[in-house]
Amino acid sequence: MKARLTCRTVSRLTTASVFALAGCAALRPPPQEPPPAARATQEPAATERVVVTARKWEESPADVPRSVTAITSEMIRDRGATTIRDLAGYVPNMLLTEFTARRLSFPFVRGVGSGQGEPAVATFVDGVPQLTVSSTNLELVDVERVEFLRGPFGALYGRNTIGGAIHVISKTPPEQPRIDAGATLGNYGSQAYDLAVGGPVAGDELAASFAGRYSRRDGYTTNDFTNDDVDSRDSYFGRAQLLWEPDQDTRLRFVVYGERSRDGGFVLSNLAGLRADPYRINQDFEGETSRDILASSLTWNEYGDDVDFVSITSLQGWQIAESADFDFSALDGVRRFTAEDQDYVYQEVRFESAPGSNVALGDDVQLRWLVGASGFHSDSSRAATNEFRAGGAGILFPPAMVGSDRVTGDFADWSASLFGQAALLFGDGFEVSAALRYDFESRSADIDRVFDSNGLVVPVSSTRDDETFDEVLPRGSVAYRFSENVKGYVLAARGFKAGGFNLSAPAGSEAFGPETSWTYEAGVKTEWLDERVTANLAVFHVDWDDMQLSQFDANAGGYVTNAGRSTSEGIELEVGAEPLDEFAVSAALGLLQTGFDEFVDQYGQDAAGNSLPFAPAMTLGLGVQYTHAIDESAAGFARVDFFHVGEYFYDAGNRESARYSVTDLRIGVRGDHWRLDGFLANAFDEVYVPIAFQPSPADPSVFVGQNGAPRTFGFSLLVTF
């Protein structure tokens, strides 16, 4: 007899069973209809309904009363995206910057983001949060869709989502045996090889899959000191999984993925030089960067007539090692060595009303609900060494400073949360939704700093500290469906990001406080011409206290400080259209105005009235694709993507800024079981510097940065068996 999960049997689930079995797959509706999660693993069709899990239950993006952008696997393939950063241009008011070291990727949404420290826009993989920026920008291998959630999502998703969340949902094993093999070759020695294999293993109950990618390229930047290219990339990424469905009411999904990346050094150089003579540096020391990730998750879904149960358990770990020329010049002055690692376990459990089984509160009122709990425990270690060498003595620093300034730290962090959500659905088209979360977090740090000169080790400072943070995070919205194709909403949401400890920072900045915000949003979502055209418009205002802002110090490196009061407001427009069967058009426009209400930067200068760093005044993404049938089994296609990032500043003082426009072209032909693409990225070879910072503690006008990717081209082939 098959087990059914009802309100009467919920109490029989013990804590031990909850933590023994876990999961992170999308929710499956009652067994009388095929599960949307299973349908989503099939090859997308032009008419397929897109679903999102922004509110932790499946629904159409048009039904979510807030700003959500969903990028499906078909869109990822058509646009040639391989990482999350490749998709950022399709999201209004989003900027994702990264250094050549792929582990340093910083997403900013509506001006809300972070550099060093923990993200303000967190990445989730199959429901599991990535706790730091070190694992934000992952390879898009065997991915079903990516959901970009804008605005605070702390009420449901918890920590580090004060600006939003990026949710990567991987594909489940296919129902029929399938093999996908692909290869991409391009200039700069670019190569990528993909393989995905999957299918049933034991009848209809057990299925398995594996997907992997090897990629490499030569560097874009030449070091005049050695005549070598210095920002190469080389990585392996793989994901394996098992899906067990012993009956129609139970699903277990185990996923493990890993990455090994070995990249060249940072190519940071004087900003003026990068603009005048791009892709060239002059440094005596060429460092390198590496990142290793191993992550696993186990999913348990139990489906019932009245109540569904979901559990997510994950064990993850990563480590990085970096070395760099820290004087950014040909002088043998300062070198920096960094090593970090983190291991953590995450657990989430929740109960929710089963799809189609809302609680009737009257003739025209229904209740959809969920309640849950989550928590994690993290242990991490970090070490940074500035090696002051004789070549810089008397020029960059006093001769007495020759030696190694070394700081090491051990950090422990644990959190526990309770959350719930309810949506009242009225028969006249009204929806009133609310969510509430209580977050508690405990952090401790054990940090030592020493100076080593010719073997003489002198203690400099020592920090032993612990702090606790807690917050109640409410979110409420009211939505009204004016017609079948027009829905409006208003929203208010609280954001929160816990405080913490810097590994190294100027005296007095060893710790930083929590950051809080309120976001107010109003929008309308529409569909026209038999759903051939969708248009979504949103306006928002963000008001927050004690923003955690990334700063830089020549001795300490990057550190985090609080920045008083700030505001952000803007408009977002997203349009998707298929006016003809052969044409598809998309547009994403964001207009943004930000400002510090009160903040004094690291140079002692008042930044009140200045724009927030990395908050473009405008972002615009346009995509046009034309597809023409050649015969019954083949079609040709051509695609143009244009991305414009309006002016944004690198620093709180608004001393230096950037803007740029990039055009990508793609053309090819595809059949039932194959696809051949040719691509030209940054077709007009736009020269720009997407990221820069101030390295001098004495001169705020000095900036170092790195160039964005130059024009690249190549072709790719995908074959399906």
* Predicted pLDDT at 306: 93
44-53, 152-161, 342-351 — which is least confidently predicted? 44-53
Which long-range contacts link 356-364 to residues 24+ away (Cβ below 8 Å)? Answer: 356/29, 356/30, 357/30, 357/305, 357/306, 357/307, 358/425, 361/424, 363/427, 364/426, 364/427, 364/428
The chain-wide mean pLDDT, for the chain, equals 89
* Residue 511: half-sphere exposure toward Cβ, Cα within 13 Å: 17
Contact 370, 354 (CB under 8 A): no
Q: Tell which residue, 448, 340, 317, 292, has the closest CA to residue 116.
A: 340
Domains along the chain with CATH numbers: 10-720 (2.40.170.20)
> Pairing state of beta strands 121-125 and 164-170?
parallel
> In sequence order, which residues have a C-beta less than 8 Å from that of residue 606 and are 6 or more positions away?
599, 600
Cα 674 from chain centre = 30
Q: Residue 63 pLDDT more than 60?
A: yes
Q: Residue 34 pLDDT more than 70?
A: no
Model confidence band, residue 284 (pLDDT cutoffs 50, 70, 90):
very high
d(CA 193, CA 571) in angstroms, rounded, equals: 40
Q: Residue 99 pLDDT more than 90?
A: no
The CA-atom distances, in angstroms, between 222 and each of 229, 279, 364, 504, 683 are 4, 6, 68, 31, 21
Give the model confidence (pLDDT) of 478-519 as tens digits.
999 999 899 999 999 999 999 989 888 777 778 889 999 999
Helix, strand, or coil (residue 410): strand
Q: Residue 668 pLDDT more than 80?
A: yes
25-34, 174-183, 446-455 — which is least confidently predicted? 25-34
Give the model confidence (pLDDT) of 418-434 as tens digits.
999 999 999 889 999 99
Structure-token match 């349009």, residue found: 575
Contact 680, 642 (CB under 8 A): no
* Predicted pLDDT at 509: 79
* Predicted pLDDT at 133: 80
Contact 110, 541 (CB under 8 A): no
pTM metric for this prediction: 0.90
Q: Tell which residue, 715, 718, 660, 712, has the closest CA to residue 233.
A: 712
User: 392 φ, ψ to 5°?
Assistant: -105, -5
Q: Residue 553 pLDDT more than 90?
A: no
Cα 711 from chain centre = 25
Contact 450, 457 (CB under 8 A): yes
Give the model confidence (pLDDT) of 372-396 as tens digits.
999 999 999 999 999 999 999 989 8
Query: What's the whole-number mean pLDDT along residues 664-683?
Result: 96
Q: Tell which residue, 89, 191, 197, has the closest CA to residue 142.
A: 197
Burial 262-271 (b: 16+ CB within 10 A, else e): bbbbbbbbbb
Counting residues of the chain whose pLDDT is more than 70, the rounded percentage is: 92
Q: Which two tokens stand for residue 592?
A: 């943004």
d(CA 389, CA 405) in angstroms, rounded, equals: 11
> Pairing state of beta strands 634-649 and 164-170?
unpaired
Query: What's the whole-number mean pLDDT along residues 223-227?
Result: 94
* Predicted pLDDT at 33: 36
Would you report the helix, strand and coil content of the chain in percent, each value rounded to 5? 5, 60, 35
d(CA 177, CA 182) in angstroms, rounded, equals: 17
Q: Residue 13 pLDDT more than 50?
A: no
Q: Residue 304 pLDDT more than 90?
A: yes
d(CA 135, CA 230) in angstroms, rounded, equals: 22
Residues facing 330 on adjacent strands: none
* Predicted pLDDT at 48: 55
> In sequence order, which residues have a C-beta less than 8 Å from that of residue 182 and are 6 or more positions away?
192, 193, 194, 195, 716, 717, 718, 719
Q: Which two tokens stand for residue 11?
A: 């109490």
* Predicted pLDDT at 24: 32
